[in-house]
Structure formats: C-alpha cells, structure tokens
Structure 1
Amino acid sequence: MESEEEKGGDDEEVMSEVHLGCPPSFSGPYISVFTVSGILDVARNLEFDADGDLLLPRRTTNAPHSRDGLSVKIQHNITSSISNVGLQVWKAELLLSDFILHRASCSSQLHGVTALELGAGTGLVGLLLARFANTVFLTDHGTEILDNCAKNVQLNFGSLNYQAKIYVRELDWFNCWPPKTKIEEAPCTQKYSWTSREIEDAENASLLVAADVIYSDELTDAFFSTLETLMSRGSTKV
C-alpha cells in the first residue's frame, strides 16, 4: 500500500533516462525520429570477430540509409507527471522494440499474429509490430496518453508500410475485463472504447507485450490481474 506521501507524488515531474541531457523546461510535445537500418536483411549479414563476438557496423551521420531501413516518428514529452509517464519514451520500450525487430528478422513467428500491448504509452513497440502482424491493439489509460498514441499512429501512416489494422483503445487495469463497449459507454467517452468484435479479437490475440509498466505496487497487482484474465480467455497466448 502506498503511503500518503507517495500518493501525493503524482504531480511530481519525472524524466526518463532516455531524455537525460534535454532541457527540462522543454517538456514537449516533441517529435523524435528513430531510424532502423537493414532490419530485413540483418539475419543474412551477421559478422563475428575471432572471439565469436558480434560485429556491429556503425552508420555515420552522413551515410545513406539502407534501402530496407525505416524511420519511426514518435511524439513524446521530455518530462511528465508520474500519472502521465506514458507520454515519455522509456529505455525498456526501446529494448522491447529491439527484441521485436530481432525476432521478426530471424523468424516468421510474428508474421500474421494478433497482438495486444498493455501500457502502450507512445505506441513505438506496437507500431513496429504492425509491420508484421495482422492486428495490433495499443492499450493504455487516460485521454492525454491515448491521444498522443493515436497521434503517433497517424504520424507514421504511409511510412511504415503497415500490414496490420491498428486500434488505440482504453484499458484500465483497475476495471474488470472485458471493458465496456461503445454501446455501453456515454457518447462523450466513446473515442477509445471497444466494440464487441474487437474484444473478441483481443481475447484471441496470440501475443501480449508490455514494457516498463512495473513501478507501483497497486498498479503491478492490477496489471497481473488483467494479464491473468487475458491469458485465460480465448486462444493460447505468449
């Protein structure tokens, strides 16, 4: 259980270590471009040194991009309140993105899946998944975070060669699954509400992903409760 002092800390401004060195006064929103080179042919061109360590070529600033590369535009804040940390880019989000790209380049396991991201934040991971999946649900809580996530989906249409249908949806871990549908919600709150078909599709997702969502005892309990419910419904999930 959080102390009263901890509960009152939601208004405290925090900064992701990804943003260290940025001026705190420039909170955002700001658009960063993440460039990935050669993701489609990386598995065929791995080189190792005499000790068996992977050799990683470094692209210089003026070097041309690989024709198989891609750039992802992400709108984010430099700082945020604790309740709005989903507006920032966090290191675990980059690590999970790297994992997704690695798996997609080495196998076809992610091709054609239905995926659901819990606590999607800026949506970077789900946007990369959308290159390979059939359907991606980007879920989070709070209108400001969901609006920013939806903006990032919009920013990258046409540049990521999406294969998947992408849905930005509200998912409050403190509420029971399944969430209320558009018919049950008031018209003013329907922007990120679910349809009955979408709930069915989400329950049949084969892949659930989440990055950097463990930072509060109560939130952690709610996260695992939601995860347990999702894992027990519909198709088998990883």
Structure 2
Amino acid sequence: MRQMKGEGEEEDIVCLDESFFIDDNYQLTTFTFGSQVIELLCLQSASTDFDLTGQLVWPGAMLLNDYLSKNAELLQGCTVLELGSGVGITGILCSRFCSKVVLTDHNEEVLKILKKNIELHASSENSKCCSGLVAEKLEWGNSEQIGHILQTYSDGFDLILGADICFQQSSICLLFDTVEKLLRNRREGQCKFILAYVSRTKIMDSLVISEAVRCGMQINELVGTRSVVGNLEGVIFEVTLKKQDE
C-alpha cells in the first residue's frame, strides 16, 4: 500500500502483514443434524483476504451433513478423506460413525482452527465416538502432498468427501486431478467421491461435470438431494472412476 505525499515529498511504502486481513475471532457455535449435535469454533463471515473461506461453515456443508446424518449407514466403519475441510464440521460428524477420518485443507490459518476443533472434540463427551480424526495439509495438485497422503494411508479410503469446495474455476482441474489419484489408491472395492455442490454460476456448473469426465470419472446426481441451501440451489454428486470397458 502506498501513502501519497505532496509535491516534492517522498512516498512512504507501507507493508501490511497478512494478519491485518485475518479475523480469528472464532465463536463456539452449535449445529444439529438429525440426532447429532456438533459444537465447533468458526466465524460467522469470512476474513478479508488470503483465501480464508474455510473459517466458516458454508451452505454445501449443511447440505452434505444433512444427507450423511440421514444415511449414516454409508459411513459405518469406513475410512474417509475430506477435501477442503475448513473448520471440520463434516469430518467431525463422520468421525462419529467412521473408523478413520482424515481432514485436509491447504491454508495454514484454516488448519490452525481445524486442529483446534479436533482437539475440542477429543476432549468432549463425544470423544469416544470421535476417535481417528487426523488433520493433514493438502493443496490440490501438489504432487508432494498428494504423495504423502497416498503413502501414509496406503490402503486408501472408502469415501472421499467435499462440501462446497468449487469456488474458483482455476482450481477445478486440480481438484479432479487430485480426486482421480485418491480414488485409484483404493486396493479393494471401489472408492467414491461424494461432492456437495452449490450452484453459483452456470460456467462452474458445466466445468465441474466436464472436468470429472476429462479425468475418467462418472458423475451422477444423487436422487432426491437437489434442494435450496442459503438461497442457492444445491445438489449432491456421486463420482466414481469409469470401468475400463466403459
């Protein structure tokens, strides 16, 4: 930021630390999904900059958690990896049914609050049913970080989850490239990517479908999941790798 001076005077260069943009005034907030009550720290609105959208709970997470709470049998005993976990509301819900849940995000500031929420639930009355919660850094398309996930969790996952993670057009290619590698890491059975998608632009609607297809995947809308969330239309997609003969 430059501060302008009068004629003949020098300009002062003002360097702003990124903390200037960061709002970390988190509030303990209660969410209810069916019989499951979750308390976690989050913001009510996003910070100004530095890609901090993960500090609050977005409509797509509400859509996905509502679906999962009504279909908890999908989670029983499963291993799950969540992309773009943010404050962790979906992963924490899953941990009450799953054997292991790996929550990921790429932003260091978001990872801080994610880890705080994991600690919060590890010390709560639900700690016995919230075992197996782990946070990992994962930037889509980052081969080193993807390789770390694939090596550390070499048996793969039963489910990959994503809730309201399609914001920037430039990230969608990287998202599905990453999903494709994670889906192929499953040794036995078929891994699925469950994506809670909220429509904001028609360009993004088309891009999500085309990128899934480009990466050799089949993407299907789950019947009965299309609904209005936060005044926007949301839907849940199931994404799987196409069989070789298809």
* Category of TM-score, reference length = shorter chain: 0.5 to 0.7
Tell me, which stretches of 5 or more residues in structure 2 are unaligned?
Answer: 1-20, 193-246
1:187-202 matches, within 5 Å, as 196=151, 198-201=152-155
1:7-156 matches, within 5 Å, as 27-36=23-32, 39=35, 70-76=37-43, 78-80=45-47, 81=49, 83-104=51-72, 108-156=73-121
- The match for 2:134 is 167
Summarize the Cα distance change of 1:167–1:195 in structure 2 as closer, same or farther, 3 Å threshold: farther
- The match for 2:168 is 216
Q: Residue type of the partner of 1:149?
A: L
Q: Is the 8 A contact 1:118 1:208 kept in 2?
A: yes
Shift of 1:76: 3.1
Tell me, which stretches of 5 or more residues in structure 1 are unaligned?
Answer: 1-24, 40-68, 182-193
Task: List, as ranges, runs of 4+ consecutive aligned residues in structure 1 with deviation greater than 3 Å.
Answer: 25-28, 177-181
Q: Is the 8 A contact 1:74 1:124 kept in 2?
A: no
Cα displacement string for residues 138-161 of structure 1 (whole angstroms, at most 9, x for unaligned residues): 011021111110011112222324
**Separation in structure 2 between the aligned mates of residue 37 and residue 126 of structure 1, nearest angstrom:** 13
Q: TM-score, normalised by structure 2?
A: 0.61
Q: Is the 8 A contact 2:34 2:66 kept in 1?
A: no
Q: Residue type of the partner of 1:29?
A: N
Q: Residue type of the partner of 1:221?
A: C
Q: The residue matched to 1:179 in structure 2 has which SS?
A: helix
Larger fraction in strand: 2
Q: The residue matched to 1:83 in structure 2 has which SS?
A: coil
Q: Is the 8 A contact 1:120 1:126 kept in 2?
A: yes
Summarize the Cα distance change of 1:37–1:178 in structure 2 as closer, same or farther, 3 Å threshold: closer
Shift of 1:87: 1.2
Q: Is the 8 A contact 1:27 1:77 kept in 2?
A: no
Q: The residue matched to 2:39 in structure 1 has which SS?
A: strand
Identity, % of aligned positions:
26
Q: The residue matched to 1:70 in structure 2 has which SS?
A: strand
RMSD of aligned C-alpha atoms?
A: 2.6
In the comparison of the two structures, how many residue pairs are matched? 168
Shift of 1:224: 0.7
Q: TM-score, normalised by structure 1?
A: 0.63
Summarize the Cα distance change of 1:226–1:195 in structure 2 as closer, same or farther, 3 Å threshold: closer
Higher relative contact order (CA 8 A, sep 6+): 1
Summarize the Cα distance change of 1:37–1:144 in structure 2 as closer, same or farther, 3 Å threshold: closer
